[in-house]
Amino acid sequence: MEEWINAFLKRLENKNFSLHTIRAYQTDLQEFLAFFKARKQNDLKYFTSANIRSFLAALQTHADPARNTVLRKIASLRSFAAFLLAQDKLERNPFKLLPVPKRQKLLPKFLSLTETDRLLDTAAHSKHFAARDKALFELMYSSGLRRSEVTGLRIKDVDYFNGLVKVFGKGAKERLVPVTDEALNALKIYLAQRKNPQPDDALFLNKNGKPLTGDGLAYIFKNTAIRSHLARKVTPHSLRHSFATHLLNNGCDLRSLQEMLGHKSLAATQVYTHVSLEKLKSVYNHAHPESKENL
């Protein structure tokens, strides 16, 4: 089984899946492998519906994972099963008759305009990397890019004349996303401080002059969020959620937002309409004299 897990992960790498996604698959499949090794069943013939149920039951016994965490593990195993079926290594699909719990619908957590401004201002006053961090956070907020998309950018991907950035999203799918003048000006200032930058160079570098990684971005973001003294926990994805919510609240249509976010389906984008409705209800309850909040 271990040999085929490695082959599956290699296939994901060849298909240009993000490092973050590959790591998630690897973690889930290694946990699955360890479970079967402990039972001395390290063979594909044991990859059955019954044994998958045993694995999921063991997860609940030793921990209390969130429903979406369990669903992610199921998705990892499902993709692995599909890979094995394509290689004729399984006689039947172990997930065909396996019931899957529904995904827990959580509203995206986003920052208010005031909180966003505070975060961007803190980034702009970074002690050692103010120019880089200002450009980094302005770009993230103005474009709604994923973490892997930001770190994958090259200098040549920024179109200053048309105010666009070329992004390679999930599955190496290319899209063009508008960028604000504020972000473009911050990028110009940052790149002016770089030594002989070339078009194919990474857009953002770490303190050692190497391309910024996803983990490096998460570290920068964590420190900036702490220095911003925000009352809530924020992550790099918080800016993506904030970008989407703020655009929708100011009249952006769903189709345009879908294109900018790089969502495959409109259903993935529609979650932000629920966020906007929650905000609308909150404003209504606070403002209407006969609402429960004002009685």
Catalytic residues: 146, 170, 237, 240, 263, 272
Cα separation, 238 vs 240, in Å, equals 5
Q: Is the pLDDT of residue 165 over 90?
A: yes
In DSSP terms, 205 is beta-bridged to 211
Q: Tens of pLDDT along 98-153?
A: 776 666 566 668 888 899 999 999 999 988 899 999 999 999 999 999 998 999 99
The pTM score is 0.65
Which is higher by pLDDT, 109 or 165?
165
Mean model confidence pLDDT for the chain? 86
Q: Is the pLDDT of residue 174 over 80?
A: yes
Which is higher by pLDDT, 191 or 289?
191
With vertex at residue 25, the alpha carbon angle to CA 24 and CA 26, rounded to the nearest 5 degrees, is: 90
Q: How far apart are the first and last CA of the chain?
A: 64
Summarize the confidence of residues 185-196 as an average pLDDT: 96
Q: Tens of pLDDT along 210-265?
A: 999 999 999 998 899 999 998 778 888 889 999 998 998 888 888 898 999 988 88
